[in-house]
Amino acid sequence: MRPCQQHQGVHGAVKGAKPRLSARVQQGFSLLELALAMVILSLLMGSLMGPLRAQRSLSANKDTDWRLQQAQQALYGHAVIYHYLPCPDDDLPPDGWENVLSNQSCRSDECVLPWQQLGLPATDAWGRYLRYRADSTFTHHGAWFSIANAELDSNLQVTGDAGAVTSVASRPVAIVLSHGENGLGGIQSGALAQALAPPQQVDEIENADGDLQFVDKSQSQVNGLVFDDRMIMLSPKTLIYHMVQAQRLP
């Protein structure tokens, strides 16, 4: 055998050999390493989920505020056209249309906003029907309100962070309310129109008890109880202004 042949054979064997993996690489990740990786991944996900939830909540609140503003404007427009505010929808499940008695008064003073009648979305951003309350002076379909009714005629009262929101002479003629992100006291939309759990926070209780008192405060949390209702009001003076501008009142 010639030396060059022997050299070529050794060289060929070295060149064609496959590299041997270390025992550590062959074994892969250990359970401890996988556990540490999962912990780190969980921490990263947690740090991202907090801001994401806050962003989604902020977006939903803005969307709901926009829907409340649309409802306010639609109610003013309804009054200009028909000379009265619509009655609430108290059907179960709600169908989006007002319910009126034969004497032209409302079947209920407070229930769901008649969204179909007003051409509005049915719910707030969380899929709950908007609550609607209007003073009976301004909803009677036969005895229309007048300029004189702009002062002292509404019995609705709204309390804010610093007490009464409006003076007695300027009490709102109607309110539209979202029960907020927690939805307590509201009605979930859908075929069954499921009533959600009653609220426990005192101000949210006030907004769901069906009386003439309402609360419009900043969002708060005390002892684990959250107030996150959102509300918009219809001013009697603004309502009369729209009516006069449209020549529906002298």
Q: How many CB atoms lie within 10 A of CB 65?
A: 16
Of 227 and 46, more confident: 227
The Cα 13–Cα 15 span in angstroms is 5
Both tokens of residue 163?
A: 């007490």
Binned at pLDDT 50, 70 and 90, residue 36 comes out as confident
Interval 152-163: pLDDT, tens: 999 999 999 999
- pLDDT, position 32: 78
Contacts of 232 (CB under 8 A, 6+ apart): 65, 68, 69, 71, 72, 175, 176
Interval 74-113: pLDDT, tens: 999 999 999 999 999 999 999 999 999 999 999 999 999 9
pTM score of the predicted model: 0.79
- pLDDT, position 11: 47
SS (H, E, C) 31-48: HHHHHHHHHHHHHHHHHH
Interval 222-235: pLDDT, tens: 999 999 999 999 99
Domain ranges of the chain: 39-245
- pLDDT, position 1: 44
Are 96 and 122 within 8 A, CB to CB? yes
- pLDDT, position 16: 54
- pLDDT, position 20: 57
Q: For residue 154, what are the CA distances in angstroms to 112, 135, 160, 213?
A: 20, 6, 18, 12
Question: Percentage of the chain with pLDDT > 90?
Answer: 72
- pLDDT, position 89: 98
Binned at pLDDT 50, 70 and 90, residue 6 comes out as very low
Binned at pLDDT 50, 70 and 90, residue 7 comes out as very low
Interval 149-205: pLDDT, tens: 999 999 999 999 999 999 998 999 999 999 999 999 999 998 888 999 999 999 999
- Stated length of the chain: 250
Residue with token string 């009533």:
195
- pLDDT, position 55: 84
The Cα 118–Cα 76 span in angstroms is 10
- Return mean pLDDT, the chain: 88
Residue type at 8 in one-letter notation: Q
Peptide bond into 94 cis (omega under 30): no
Q: What is the DSSP string of 138-192?
A: GT-SSS---GGGGTT----EEEETTEESS-GGG--SEEEEE-TTT-TT-BB-SSS
Residue type at 216 in one-letter notation: D
